[in-house]
Amino acid sequence: MRLSVFVALLCFVACGLVCGLSCPTGQFRSSVPRLCCNLCPAGHFMSKECQTSANDTQCSPCRSGTYNAKENKDTACRNCRTSCRDQKETIVKNCSSISDLQCDCSDDYYRDPHSLQCRKCTPCMKKGQVLVSRCGKYKDAVCKTCGKEDFVLNNLCVPCDRCHKGEFVVEECSPKRNTVCRKLPTSTPPSSSPHITSQEPVTGTKLVERADLNPTPAEIKAQKRFQDEMWGYRAVIMLLVLIILGLVLHQKINLCQTIKTKVTTLKKCSGPKESCAVSAGTPLLIKENNFKFSKTRADVTERLAMHLNASKDWKRLAGLMNYSSVYTQNWELTPCEATQKLLQDWSQRSDATVFTLYQFLKELRRDDAASLLLPYLTGQVPECETV
């Protein structure tokens, strides 16, 4: 009997200890009268503990510059940090009564996942580097260094061109720029035919060497070097020149005649430039020539773009030009300039002639676009431009 009373008493005490210590959520056990009292809400501190009932806890709001993030029975709020750790961090959230000042890495910095320090993003701006992935919140940018035989174009590694037979290197390929090739000057020096421009196809399929209007210093240097190398062969060249001079004189006479006839037909054409190329009554005779697309007027590219950008035919054209999808996907990002970018890139190829482009467009059945090139294939452009 005594034992059961003792056990019951023990249970009562244990229960009192355990049950009495815990209060419902949102309340705490006060110290002097053992009561369950309300906690103070976030953004407040307890200015006076409860005395008589659960709801007479007195709370006061945190003063400016201090905070309490949770329900609490603290007698004061915590101080906010007043600034971020250093210059590499910037404030993303100001101090408020319920949260401390929050900082994050500044622009152009990322948080190193190991040290948790902010570190500067690698810029991927070194020569011959391209950006593979951007700098993130917790990871640095990833750069790739292009191969030695590559140059960088639109953030892509592009293999450098090699000069073809019969061409010499004016400028070696550099990380920034493709190889620049120039045809060997096998015919007479340009000064002996000053009134003939490159836009003038010579009778037959040969093209007169172009007299460059503004050669860059690098080009001049390369030409000089080339001429020095040629010194040993001078005697042979002199002989050749004499023979060629004879031939050219003969050709020149022919040329003068063709120019004369063209000028006379042009006099009939006094309309606007546009109609000039098409106005000839006789059917236009298309002649294959080596006229480089890069030498065409800038508005030709723009007008081709007007025809091709909308239809995505530029993509098929890129296919014919052997461009991989890596390029087309890149250009697709700016659909209003896709054709321009394609042609701009392609025009740097040594085989990028107007005639080749004309054939591509015909193959795509884009006669409308192809017709824009006709003036360059019928030898009508130079005169029209001077009218």
Ligand X SMILES: *[C@@H]1O[C@H](CO)[C@@H](O)[C@H](O)[C@H]1NC(C)=O
Is residue 64 involved in binding ligand X (CB under 6 A)? no
As measured in angstroms, the least distance from the Cβ of 94 to ligand X is: 4
Q: Residue 90 or residue 216: which is nearer to ligand X going by CB?
A: 90
Our CB check for ligand X shows the closer of 36 and 266 to be: 36
Q: Of 70, 85, 93, 126, which one interacts with ligand X (CB under 6 A)?
A: 93
83 touching ligand X, by CB under 6 A: no
Helix (H) or strand (E) holding 181: strand 180-183
91 part of the interface to ligand X, by CB under 6 A: yes
Distance CA 222, CA 386 (A): 33
In whole angstroms, give the CA distance from residue 275 to residue 273: 6
Question: In this complex, which beta carbon is closest to ligand X, that of residue 62 or of residue 173?
Answer: 62
Return the number of the residue (14 or 92) whose C-beta is nearest ligand X: 92
Q: Is 26 in the site for ligand X (CB under 6 A)?
A: no
Using the minimum distance from each CB to ligand X, give the nearer residue, 93 or 234: 93
Residue 94 as a binder of ligand X (CB under 6 A): the answer is: yes
Task: Rule CB under 6 A: say whether 31 interacts with ligand X.
Answer: no
Kindly report each contact of residues 47-50 with a partner whose C-beta sits within 8 Å and lies 24 or more positions away, as own/partner. 47/75, 49/73
Count the neighbouring beta carbons within 10 Å of the beta carbon of residue 278: 13
Q: Tell me the chain's radius of gyration from C-alpha atoms.
A: 41
Give the Cα separation of 187 and 246 in Å (integer). Answer: 11
81 part of the interface to ligand X, by CB under 6 A: no
Q: Which is nearer to ligand X, 38 or 380 (CB)?
A: 38
CB under 6 A: which stretch of 91-99, 188-196, 224-232, 342-350 binds ligand X? 91-99
Q: In Å, how far are 28, 55, 72, 295, 330 from 40, measured between CA atoms?
A: 10, 10, 5, 80, 58
Stretch of residues binding ligand X (CB under 6 A), selected from 62-70, 87-95, 189-197, 304-312: 87-95
By the rule CB under 6 A, 48 interacts with ligand X:
no
Residue 53 or 154 with smaller CB distance to ligand X: 53
For the bound state, the minimum distance from the C-beta of residue 101 to ligand X, rounded and expressed in Å, comes to 9
Could you tell me the smallest distance in angstroms from the CB atom of residue 65 to ligand X? 11
65 lines the binding site for ligand X (CB under 6 A): no
Binding residue for ligand X, selected from 4, 18, 34, 55, defined by CB under 6 A: 55
| Minimum distance from residue 55 beta carbon to ligand X (Å) | 4
Nearer to ligand X, 23 or 286 (CB): 23
**Least distance from C-beta 69 to ligand X, angstroms?**
18
Number of residues that bind ligand X (CB under 6 A): 6
CA–CA gap between residue 218 and residue 180 (Å, rounded): 10
The tokens describing 296, both together, are 């065409």
How do 129-133 and 142-145 pair as beta strands? antiparallel
Residue 162 · residue 178 · CB < 8 Å: no
Instruction: Of 309, 306, 317, 299, give the one whose Cα is nearest residue 362.
Output: 317
Which residues lie below 8 Å from residue 334, measured CB to CB, with a gap of 6+?
Answer: 341
Cβ proximity to ligand X, 92 vs 310, nearer residue: 92
Question: Concatenated DSSP letters for 112-178?
Answer: -TTT--EEEPP---STTEEEEE---SSS--EEEEPPTTEEEETTEEEEPP-PPTTEEEEE--BTTB-
Nearer to ligand X, 63 or 126 (CB): 63
254 binds ligand X (CB under 6 A): no
**Binding status of residue 53 toward ligand X by CB under 6 A:** yes
Q: Which of residues 264-323 bind ligand X (CB under 6 A)?
A: none
For residue 254, give Cα distances in angstroms to 203, 376, 378: 8, 20, 17
Strand pairing class (109-111; 118-120):
antiparallel
Q: Among all residues, whose Cβ is closest to ligand X?
A: 94
Region near ligand X per CB under 6 A, out of 88-96, 194-202, 259-267, 273-281: 88-96
Q: Which residues contact ligand X by CB under 6 A?
A: 53, 55, 91-94
